[in-house]
Amino acid sequence: MTAIDPARRVVVTGMGVVTPIGTNVPEFWGGLKRGQLGVGPVGGFPVEELKILIAAQVKGFEPKVRLKHFKRDKLITLADRYSWFAAAAADEAMQMAGLEGPIANPYRAACIVGSGAGGLVTFETAYRDLFIHKKLATHPLTLLRIIGSSASAHIGIEFGIKGPTFATCSACSTASHAIGLATDYIRNGVVDIAIAGASESVINYGTMKAWQALHVLSPQGCFPFSKKRNGTVLGEGAGILVLESYAHAKARGAKIIAELAGYGMSSDAQDMVKPTIEGPREAMRMALEDAGIAPTAIDYLNAHGTATADNDRNETKAIKEVFGDHAYKLAISSTKSMHGHPLGAGGGIEAVATIKAMQESWVPPTIGLDDPDPECDLDYIPNVGRDKAVRYAMSNSFAFGGLNAVLVFGPPPA
C-alpha cells in the first residue's frame, strides 16, 4: 500500500442513485431488500423487428419535478435523459453530504461523471427527425445533449465546481474509473472534494438492435451465476458519490458514511468481448493492496455478475484465485439480477448498494438463482438477502474491451 497522508484519506459523505427499482437511495435500498425485479417489457419507442423485448427501464421520472429547484443550471430540464439521471443522483448525494452550491472553494472541487455512451436517446431522436420524419433540422440543443461530458458539465454548473470537470468512458467500468480518478485527485492534494460516478440511458430502438446483433441479451431475464442464464438485460440510471478528504470532511463536521479504502484497475489486453481471468484477478488484488488489507478482511463482494456465460464463470475463477479458501466464506451477490445492467452507471449504483450493505449489516441477494451453474459454486446469496455484519466490502466492474476497475470500501476512519 502506498503511504497516504491520514488527512488525505478519502471518505464518502454522500450518495445518490436513479435506478429501475428506485429513483433515490431509500427507494433503491427498499427495492433490494424486497428482491424487487426492475426488468419488464420495453416501452416508449417503436419495437418493430426487435427480438429482445425486455429491459430494466426507469419509470415515472419527471425531470421538471425532480430538478425544478436547480438554480444555476438553466438548461438541465432540456438536457438528455442521461444528464437528468446524473443531475438527480448528484443532487441527492450533495444533499446527503450537507453541501450546497456554489461550492465555497470551487477550484478545490472536481466533478468526474462519466457515461459509456452519452446522449444516445437524443441521437436516435435526431436521426428519426431527419431521416424518417424528413425534418429540415434537429433540435437546437442536440449537440449539447449528446456529448458524453454533458452530465458532468451540467452538475458542475449547478454546484459551481471550477476544478477538474470531465467525463470518463470505459464501457461498464465507467463509474468505477471515475470514482478511482477522484480518489487519486483527493489523495494527491489536487482537490478536497469530488462528485464522482456515472449515468446511462441507452434503451431505445437502435441500441436494442445493436445489442441484439451481438447476441448477449437475454429474452427472458437477468439470471447471474445460474445454469439457466442466457445473457444480460439492459438497464439505465445513475450512481453518484460525494468524496472528500478526511480532513475536509472533519473540518466541516460532515457525517462520514464510509471510507474509500482502495481501488485497482487493469486491462485484459486480449479481446473486445471475451473476458480473461487474469485482468479481473489483478484488479481485485491491486484494490486489496491499495487498501492495505488481506483478502480475509472482505465480508461482502458485489460482483459484476452480468449473467453472460463467460463473465460469470471467469469472475468466479478470478475470485477464487484472489481469495483462496476465503472465497467460499464470502457473501457475494449480483444486484444486476434486480436493476439490470446499467452499463457505465453500474459501478456507481453498485457502490451505493455495497455501502448500504455495510451501513445496514444486510447483504442483498442474487434473485432468480434457483439452479446455480456448477462452475459458479460460491455463496452468491440466492434469492433472499441476509443479515450480516460487513466491515470491508468490494465492488467489481469489468467492461467490454477487458477494462477492469474494483473498489474497496471500509468503515469511517476512527
pLDDT digits (tens, 9 = 90+) for 120-134: 999 999 999 999 999
Retrieve residue 56's grid coordinates. Answer: 430494466
Retrieve residue 1's grid coordinates. Answer: 500500500
91-99 average pLDDT score: 98
Domain 9-251 architecture: 3-Layer(aba) Sandwich (3.40)
pLDDT digits (tens, 9 = 90+) for 224-252: 999 999 999 999 999 999 999 999 999 99
- Site of grid cell 432468480: 368
309-327 average pLDDT score: 97
- Coil, strand, or helix at residue 19? strand
257-267 average pLDDT score: 98
Q: Name which of 259, 356, 403 is nearest 33 in CA terms.
A: 356
Pick the CATH number of 263-410 from 3.30.420.10, 3.40.47.10, 3.40.50.970, 1.20.140.10: 3.40.47.10
Model-wide pTM > 0.85:
yes
Q: Is the distance from CB of 200 to CB of 38 less than 8 angstroms?
A: no
Q: Is the distance from CB of 147 to CB of 97 less than 8 angstroms?
A: no
**Domain boundaries along the sequence of the chain:** 9-251, 263-410
Residue 60 pLDDT: 95
DSSP class of residue 226 equals B
Q: Which residues are catalytic?
A: 172, 304, 341
Residue 33 pLDDT: 98
338-364 average pLDDT score: 98
Q: Is the distance from CB of 406 to CB of 286 less than 8 angstroms?
A: yes
Distance of CA 144 to the CA centre of its chain: 23
Phi, psi of 385 (to 5 degrees): -70, 170
pLDDT digits (tens, 9 = 90+) for 28-62: 999 999 999 999 999 999 998 899 999 999 999 99
Mean pLDDT of the chain: 97
- Element (H or E) spanning 327, and its range? none
90-117 average pLDDT score: 98
In whole angstroms, what is the distance from residue 391 CA to residue 303 CA?
17
12-17 average pLDDT score: 99
Report whether pLDDT(359) > 90. yes
Q: Is the distance from CB of 387 to CB of 331 less than 8 angstroms?
A: no
Q: Pick left, alpha or beta for residue 66 (phi over 0 → left; psi -120 to 50 → alpha; otherwise beta).
A: alpha
Q: How distant, in Å, are the alpha carbons of 56, 152, 183, 216, 306 from that of 231?
A: 14, 31, 33, 5, 8
- Element (H or E) spanning 352, and its range? helix 346-360
pLDDT digits (tens, 9 = 90+) for 203-230: 999 999 999 999 999 999 999 999 999 9
Residue 2 pLDDT: 55
Residue 414 pLDDT: 84
Q: Is the distance from CB of 201 to CB of 80 less than 8 angstroms?
A: yes
87-102 average pLDDT score: 98
Residue 7 pLDDT: 87
**Cα torsion at 317, 318, 321, 326 (round to 10°)?**
-90
Q: Give the model's confidence band at 374: pLDDT under 50 very low, under 70 low, under 90 confident, else very high.
A: very high
Residue 1 pLDDT: 45
Q: Taking the CB of residue 206, how many other CB atoms lie within 10 A of it?
A: 15
